[in-house]
Structure 1
Amino acid sequence: MTTPESPDGLASRLRDATAPEHRDTENRGFITRLMGGELDLAAYVRYLAQYTHVYRALEARAAQPGDPGFLADEALRRVPSMESDLVALGAADWEAAHAPLPATQAYVDHLHAIAAQDVPRYVAHHYTRYLGDLSGGQAIAKLVARHYGATDAQLGFYRFEEIDSPVRYKRAYREQLDALDLDAEQEAVLIAEAKSAFHLNGAIFDALGAAEPLAA
Structure 2
Amino acid sequence: METEKKTQTAAEQMTDRDLSEQIKKVTKESHVRAENTQLMLSFQRGKVTLPQYKLLLCSLYEIYQALEEQLDRNSNHPGVAPIYFPAELARLETIEKDLEYFYGPDWREKIVVPAATKRYCHRLRQIGEENPEFLLAHAYTRYLGDLSGGQVLGRIAQKSMGLKNSEGLSFFAFPGVSSPNLFKQLYRSRMNSVELTEEERNGVLEEAVRAFEFNIQVFDDLQKLLSVTENNLQSCLSQSKPVNAKTLQIPGTLINSSPLLRMVLGFFVALATVSVGIYAL
Q: Do they fold alike, i.e. is TM over 0.5?
A: yes
Moved more, 82-91 or 159-168: 82-91
The answer to whether the 8 A contact 2:64-2:92 is kept is yes
Percent identity over paired residues = 28
Q: Which residue of 2 aligns with 1:143?
A: 156
| Equivalent position amino acid for 1:64 in 2 | N
The runs of 5 or more residues in structure 2 that have no matched partner are 1-10, 231-281
Query: Relative contact order: is structure 1 or structure 2 higher (C-alpha 8 Å, sep ≥ 6)?
Result: 1
The Cα RMSD (Å) is 2.0
Rounded Cα–Cα distance in structure 2 between residues aligned with 1:130 and 1:22: 14
Asked if 1:213 corresponds to 2:221, the answer is no
* Residue pair 2:57, 2:99 contacting (<8 A) in 1 also: yes
SS in 1 for 2:69: coil
The 1:90–1:167 alpha-carbon spacing in structure 2 relative to 1, beyond 3 Å, is: same
Q: For residue 187 of structure 1, what is the aligned residue in structure 2?
A: 201
Note the C-alpha offset of 1:136: 1.6
Shift of 1:33: 2.4
Among candidates 122, 137, 143, match of residue 130 of structure 1? 143
Aligned residues of 1:54 and 1:104 also touching (Cα < 8 A)? yes
5+ long unaligned stretches in structure 1: none
3-state SS of 2:129 partner:
coil
Deviation at 1:39, TM superposition (A): 4.6
Question: 1:16-70 CA deviation, whole Å, 9 max, x = no partner?
Answer: 1111111111211122124424452122011111111110001112123434332
Identify the match of residue 86 of structure 2 among 73, 78, 93: 73
TM-score normalised by structure 2 residue count = 0.71
1:17 paired residue number: 26
For structure 1, which segment, 108-117 or 78-87, has the greater mean C-alpha deviation from structure 2 after superposition?
108-117
Kept in 2, the 8 Å contact 1:40–1:148? The answer is yes
Offset of 1:75 from its aligned partner? Answer: 1.6
SS at match of 2:178: coil
Note if contact 2:39-2:52 (Cα within 8 Å) is conserved in structure 1: no
- Is 1:52 the counterpart of 2:65 in the alignment? no
Alpha carbons 1:37, 1:148 under 8 Å: kept = no
Larger Rg: 1 or 2? Answer: 2
Which amino acid is the alignment partner of residue 48 of structure 1?
Answer: L
Give the letter aligned to residue 43 of structure 1: Q
Choose from 103, 106, 112 the match for 1:93.
106
Corresponding pairs, count: 213
